[in-house]
Amino acid sequence: MDVRTKMQKSSPQLSTTSYQSVPTFPLHSTNEKAIPLLGFGTAEYPFGASIDTMKQIILEAIAVGYRHFDTAALYQTEQPLGEAISDALRLGLIKSRDELFITSKLWCSDAHHDCVIPALKKTLKNLKLEYLDLYLIHWPVSVKPGEYELPVKKDLVPIDLKSVWEAMEECQALGLTKSIGVSNFSCKKLETILSTAKIPPAVNQVEMNPMWQQKKLRKFCDEKGILIESYSPLGAKGTLWGTNRVMECELLKEIAQAKGKSLAQVCLRWAHEQGVCVLVKSFNKERMKQNLDIFDWKLSAEESRKISQLPQCKGFPAGEFVSDDGPYKSLEELWDGEI
């Protein structure tokens, strides 16, 4: 049974928030940890720009109802997220750490077999946690150890997906993470992992929004039981990888006006109706609340049909991972033609 069918046929538990009930979905890991299908992202550019206020931002997000938080070694937000979790427990905003679903990611400089477990242990130390709920390979790319920056320096080296994934599986076996997955992986690179994996990826976190709908990848992941997690669902305007195409789309503006919703809510609702998990990011408290308010209404069949016909353009081609001296000499090679 594919992910979307399973989602439709099962009766997922609901995580009650202050304003909405966010559906959860059990990942196909050995631990069957349920993931809230709306998460709060902590990435921003430049990385660390809000480091002094990030703890308070996350505390506000917990207070309004978010229970799923996404971070990464690259983002410099692991430590403030960990501090916010400690404060949330102390303040009684949550009763236990188990109420939260925490994701982090393995950066390219640690995408080497012997670096994976130490990298995850460092992440857990930053977060002051004993385990993650989900740990992802951030990119199907390796760089020389020690570099935590984007754009990356041109120290690109081939990634050994088989050995890196074996180390990810060991992380789960050791109880350092409940589930493992990937981010920014094409169908072909997923096939490479699946050909030898003992534990298949539970999640593939990728750019996805009405202007980059990922139809081929979503179909593949549905068939393989891999949950798609959508980042940049509004186009990530103002970031290194973002564009304004989504927020300035006339069709989306028309639908939003007709439904009495914000354009952002229309985008998030559309993504939710595709059967994926959606990551949102706003540091504005009112927009935090609005982003939660997408579960008690639907797009019409005609609205969905029109969105499905929007012209497609990838917002973040990730050309910094392409080099004449590196393993990927073109965007076609990096994305295996899925661009």
Q: Would you name the residues annotated as active-site residues?
A: 75
CA 41 vs. chain centroid, Å, equals 8
Q: Which residues pair with 41 in a beta bridge?
A: 70
The Cα-based distances of 291 to 43, 179, 231 in angstroms read 17, 26, 14
Annotated binding-site members: 138
CB 25 within 8 A of CB 133: no
Rg of the chain over Cα atoms, rounded to whole angstroms, equals 19
Q: Is the dihedral of CA 124, 127, 131, 133 positive or negative?
A: negative
With a CB cutoff of 8 Å and minimum separation 6, the contacts of 180 are: 29, 134, 135, 136, 168, 169, 171, 172, 199, 201, 202
Q: Which residues pair with 35 in a beta bridge?
A: 25
**Rounded (10°) CA dihedral 210, 29, 333, 245:** 10
CB 263 within 8 A of CB 244: no
Give the separation between CA 240 and CA 243, rounded to whole angstroms: 9
Residue with tokens 């390979």: 137
Q: Among 117, 133, 139, 105, which Cα is nearest to 27's?
A: 133
Q: Which residues pair with 39 in a beta bridge?
A: 279
Give the separation between CA 106 and CA 241, rounded to whole angstroms: 19
* E strands in the chain: 14-16, 21-26, 34-36, 38-41, 68-70, 101-106, 132-137, 142-143, 156-157, 177-183, 203-207, 227-231, 277-280
Annotated binding-site members for substrate: 138
